[in-house]
A = this chain, B = another copy of it.
Amino acid sequence: MLKLAMPKHEDRTPTIREVANLARVGLMTVSRVINNHPSVRPSTRKKVLAAIAQLGYRQNEAARLLKGQRATMIGLIVPDLSDAFFASCAHTVQHIARAHGYMTLVVASERDADLEVQQAELMANRKVSGLLVVTSTAQGDDRLRKLQETGLSIVAFDRPLTGIGTDCVLIENRAGAETAVQHLIDHRYRRIACLGYDEDVYTIQERTQGYSNRMLAAGLSPEIVPGLLTLEDVRAWIKKSLKAEKQPTAIFSLNHRTSTFLLQALKETGIKIPEQVALAGFDDFELAPLISPPFTAVAQSPVELATRSMALLLERIRGLRDGKTFTPAKILLPVELRIRASCGAHPKLNPRTPSPTRRH
């Protein structure tokens, strides 16, 4: 006994076959139109397109994947999505991805190298077309290279993926730090401390390097204070440094978090900025001009960083699809020193006098 195909009541999305029937052509013709293969007569293409429009046909990603195609998704891995900088990167990435028809799979590695690689592998399993990653691996993981070898485009940004030949987009961490520190030096500060944490992270290393460079070049002795993870740590350092014979007259902080702790701790202690200690730091932030005194910072652009990274990734995805080969690119983005009042050397004022205890 024969069973007739019951018209299912569900609202399935139409298939390529239904389009073919409506357009009175074979399925392959429809497939060709969709993937705009050249060998389809314009008139046929038109018919097919009409049928597609009429039925509201949409490609079935699952079926394409099963045939070995790549998904129209890209993966994004950052250390922490709630960090304003990475959040801004994520926003930009997602925006550009969408504009190019990709969806964005996002995950935070929570600064865990293993989790990062593991998630990259999961994304690769899902056949993403490309991967954008702010790595937390000390040395580029070998498993990432494996993924790359299977034809996955990877672009590292903010931090390079060492030991693996990937494209990367970085910012001028060292030069930025040099500019800021030199600025302090130019304004007669001699005892400049450098505070931060995460000293095994590329960006911090570079910035620290920049600090040391300028200090040494000026004949000054660097005082690097790493490991300041919490507000408590910073408080403790300030307390100790207050008792020291030679207190720093200026501080260069290596990132936003440290700057924040510093501001907080200094405020609690009642130390005057910049009279008793001048401040400058890496990473600008929205409220930097609004705190008192306005905070001098090295500004980088997450939007620019993400935009360039996505552009590179899309280029690579296209290239790989067309079977081209490349040598990894390395892009360096400039930063800008925003001089405000916290460094005691606002451009509208004269350079600071040598007197370290001046009041205004």
Contact = CB atoms under 8 A, between A and B. Distances in A.
A234 to B, nearest CB: 13
Nearest to A123: B103
Contacts of A127: 62
Majority-rule SS of A interface residues: mixed
A63 B66 contact: yes
A285 B286 CA distance: 11
A79 B238 CA distance: 41
Interface in A61-116: 61-63, 65-66, 73, 80-84, 87-88, 90-92, 94-95, 98, 103-108, 110
A267 interface: yes
Contacts of A106: 90, 94, 104-106
Interface stretch (A154-162, A217-225, A287-295): A287-295
Contacts of A289: 264
Contacts of A94: 81, 106-108
A104 B78 CA distance: 13
Interface in A124-171: 125-127, 150
B103 A122 contact: yes
A263 interface: yes
28 contacts: A10-B150, A11-B150, A13-B125, A58-B125, A60-B66, A62-B63, A62-B66, A80-B91, A81-B87, A81-B88, A81-B90, A82-B88, A82-B90, A82-B91, A83-B87, A84-B84, A84-B87, A90-B90, A90-B106, A94-B108, A95-B110, A103-B105, A103-B122, A106-B106, A263-B290, A264-B290, A267-B290, A290-B291
Given A62-B62, A82-B90, A264-B289, 15 more contacts: A61-B125, A62-B66, A81-B90, A83-B87, A87-B87, A90-B106, A94-B106, A95-B110, A103-B123, A105-B105, A260-B290, A267-B290, A287-B290, A291-B292, A292-B292
Closest 9 CB pairs of A and B: A87-B87, A62-B65, A81-B91, A82-B91, A82-B88, A292-B292, A62-B66, A287-B287, A106-B106
Interface of A: 10-11, 13, 58, 60-63, 65-66, 73, 80-84, 87-88, 90-92, 94-95, 98, 103-108, 110, 119, 122-123, 125-127, 150, 260, 263-264, 267, 285-287, 289-292
